[in-house]
Chain A
Amino acid sequence: MKILVIVSQTQDTEAKIQVSASGDSIDTGDMKWIMNPYDEFAVEEAIQTKEKHGGEVVIVAIGPGRVIDTIRQALAMGADSAVHINGEGFAETDSYAIGKLIAGEIKKLGEFDLIFTGMKIIDEESGQVGVQVAEELGIPHVSLVSKVVEINTDAKKAVCQKEIDGGHVVVEVPLPCLITCPDAMNEPRYASLPGIMKAKKKPLTEVGIDDINYDELGFGKDAVSKEGARVKTISIEVPQIERKLKIIKGDDEPMVKGEEVAKAAEELIKLLREDAKVI
C-alpha cells in the first residue's frame, strides 16, 4: 500500500496569542510550533495501516523552513519519506490555494491507495483543505472518521465508521480515498530515540515555490498571495470576555462539605436567578 499523510505545523494550542502590529494576523514572534494535533492522529493511523498491510507512508507538507521539524517528527514516528513544498507566504493565502498546491504535488507522486489528514488545522481552523484535496484529485473522501473498521487491499476498499448527529454510520469506500481524522481515533505514538536518529536519513524532497507549474494547476500564481486569495483575513481580534468569578467555597477548606452543601446550592441558585437572571 502507498499511504500519504498531509501534515501541517501549527501554533501551540496552549499559547497565549497576540495580534500582530498589522492587525490582520497573530504575532508568531516566539511562538512554539507543533505538529497539528489532528495530523498526529492521521500519521498514527497511516503507520498502523502500513504495519498491518505493508507498504510505505509518504508525508506531504507545505509551509516555510520551520515545517521541517514537523516533517522530521512524522518520519521519526515511522513514516518513510516526505515531500516539502517549501516557501514563505503560504500563510497569506487561502485554503483553496493550499488545497490546489498540495493536490498538484500529490499528482506527481504516482499511484497511491490512501490519504490521511487531520480534520482541521487548529490555528486557522479552516476545516476544508483535506476535502478540497480529495476533490482536486477526483477521489472520494470520508470526513471525521472515528474508526477505520477494515481495509481490504484485494477488493481495494475501506470500511469506516463516522459519528453523526444522533448516531453513527458505517460506510464502504473504494480506494484510493481520503480520510480526515478527528481526535481520539487512535493513540499517537511518540517518536523514539532510534526513530529520531533514523528520520535524519530518510528521503526528503524539497519543492520550491518557483518549481510549481501553475498552468498545470489551472490557476495563476497570483492566487497564492494575500491579494489574490479568494478569501482573505482583513483583521483579527482577541475578544476579552470578563467573567464574574464568583466561586462558593467551604469555610475551613476550599471544598464545600457536610452542612455547607445545602447553603451553597441555595446560594448558587440565588446567583443564577438574581445576579445572572438565567433561571
Chain B
Amino acid sequence: MSNDVWVVVDLKLDGTIRKVTFEALTEAKKKLVDKLGGQLCAVLLGSGVSGLESELGKYGAQKVYVVDSELLKDFNTEGYVIALSELIKQNEPAVVLAGNTVFGQDYFPRVAARIGSGVAMDAIKIDLSGDNNLQIERYSHSSKAIQKQVFHGGTTMMATVRPNSFKAEEAPATPEVISGSVELNPGDIKVKVIELETKASDRPELTEADRVVSGGRGLASEENFKYIYELADILGAAAGATRAAVDAGYCPYDMQVGQTGKAVSPNLYIAIAISGSVQHFAGMGSSKVIVAINKDPEAPIFQKCDYGIVGDLFDILPPFTEKVKALVSEG
C-alpha cells in the first residue's frame, strides 16, 4: 500500500470541475498528505476531460491519473466503478476522497464494495488517527448528531466529503499526468441513458452557495416562486425549496433541501413559508444564520431560527426585496 492520497474529480454537466474537488484537494494536503508522506493525486475520469489537469495542479495535485473514454460519458456509474476500482487495485492509495454529490453517492460505495474497502459518506471533517488511519466526522440521525468515525486500515480508506465544508486554497504544483491503463468495454455498461434533459441556470449551485433563499408550500404556485428567485438573484444566492413545494410542482427537484435533498450550510439561509420540519432541517440546520418569514406564529421554524417576521410573505417580501435591492446597489 502506498501513502498517496487521491481525490476523484467531480465534474458538472458542462464539463467544468466542481468546487468540492478543490476543497478536498486543499484539505487532504493539509490534514493527510503531509503526515502520511505520500503524494497528493487527482483522478480525472470522463469523456473529453483531458486538459483539466493544470487546474488540478493549481490546488496542489502532484499527479493526475486520467481515464478519458467515450464510455464514461454522462456520469456513467458502471464505467466509473470499473475505472476507479482498477486504478485503486493497481496503485493501492492510502486514502481516496470524492465529493458527496448526487453522482458521488451513486458510484463511490459501489467501488468500495468492489475493492473490499470501508467507506464513510458525507464527511464534514477529515483527519488522521494516532496510527495514521483516516478519521472523519459526519452528521447522522437526521443531522441531529455528529459521529466521529475511524477506519480500521489495512485496505484503502474511502470517504466522500460534503461540499462547502472546507476552504479551497491555491497551492500551485505542476502535476505529472499519468494515463490510466484501464480497459473499458461497451459490454460492461448495462445501464443505458436513453434521455438526458438539462436546464442551465445562472444561479449558484445550492451546495456551493454562501447564501440560500428557499421557498415552501406557502408560495402556493410555480408563478409565485419568482419572489424567491428575485430575492436570490439580488443577494447572489442559490434558490432552494422544501419537498412540499417540489411535490406540488412549484419548482424542480434539484432545488430540494433536506434529508432527501441537498445538504447546505451557507452563511445565510432565508426560509420563506417553510414550517421547519425535521427533514428540512436535516439539510440546512447547520446554516450560520437562519431567517424565517412565515404567517403562522406557531410554526416550528420560529423555535429554531435567528431572525424572523411573522407575516404573510406576499405582504412582507415585496418591500423587503425592494429594500435589499436598494442596499445592494448602494454597495
Contact = CB atoms under 8 A, between A and B. Distances in A.
A38 to B, nearest CB: 8
B27 to A, nearest CB: 19
Contacts, number: 265
Interface stretch (A9-17, A68-76, A107-115, A195-203): A9-17
A94 interface: yes
B152 interface: yes
A143 B309 CA distance: 39
A1 interface: no
Contact of A17 (B78, B144, B267, B305): B144
Nearest to A135: B113
A183 B260 contact: yes
B78 to A, nearest CB: 7
Given A171-B194, A173-B190, A265-B323, A166 B201 contact: yes
Contacts of A236: 140, 145-148
Interface string A65-98: 0000000000000000000000000000011100
Interface in A3-54: 11, 13-14, 17, 19, 26, 38
Interface stretch (B29-37, B42-50, B219-227, B311-319): B311-319
B308 A246 contact: yes
Given A119-B260, A142-B191, A170-B195, A164 B103 contact: yes
Interface stretch (A56-64, A208-216, A247-255): A247-255
A155 interface: no
A26 B145 CA distance: 9
Interface in A238-262: 238-239, 241, 243-250, 254-257, 261-262
A127 B148 contact: no
B102 A164 contact: yes
B171 to A, nearest CB: 27
A207 B194 CA distance: 41
B114 interface: yes
Contact of B78 (A124, A140, A245): A140
A230 B152 contact: yes
Nearest to A170: B195
Contact of B113 (A136, A170, A266): A136
Contact of A140 (B190, B211, B279, B303): B190
Contacts of A119: 260
Given A165-B254, A266-B323, A241 B149 contact: no
A243 B306 contact: yes
A264 interface: yes
A276 B289 CA distance: 7
Contacts of B323: 265-266, 269
Contact of A234 (B109, B150, B246): B150
Contacts of A247: 292, 297, 302, 305, 307-310
B183 interface: no
A132 interface: yes
A167 B312 contact: no
Nearest to B285: A241
A172 B152 CA distance: 38
Interface in B210-232: 211
Interface in B68-115: 74-75, 77-78, 81, 101-103, 105-106, 109-110, 112-114
Contact of B142 (A122, A141, A163, A254): A122
A218 to B, nearest CB: 8
Nearest to A123: B141
A233 B260 contact: no
B33 to A, nearest CB: 21
Interface string B222-252: 0000000000000100000001001100001
B119 interface: yes
Contacts of A278: 211, 267-268, 288-289
A125 interface: yes
Given A14-B278, A125-B122, A279-B327, A170 B308 contact: no
A48 B114 CA distance: 32
B194 A172 contact: yes
A94 B117 CA distance: 11
Interface string B160-199: 0000000000000000000000000000001111111111
B113 A99 contact: yes
Contacts of B267: 278
B151 interface: yes
B155 interface: yes
B121 interface: yes
10 contacts: A96-B116, A125-B138, A127-B122, A140-B191, A142-B191, A166-B12, A230-B155, A233-B149, A245-B303, A262-B319
Given A127-B109, A264-B309, A278-B288, 17 more contacts: A96-B118, A99-B113, A128-B119, A131-B113, A134-B110, A167-B196, A167-B199, A167-B254, A169-B197, A173-B190, A173-B192, A245-B303, A249-B297, A261-B315, A265-B319, A268-B320, A273-B327
> Top 5 nearest A-B pairs by Cβ distance?
A230-B118, A128-B109, A167-B198, A254-B297, A256-B311
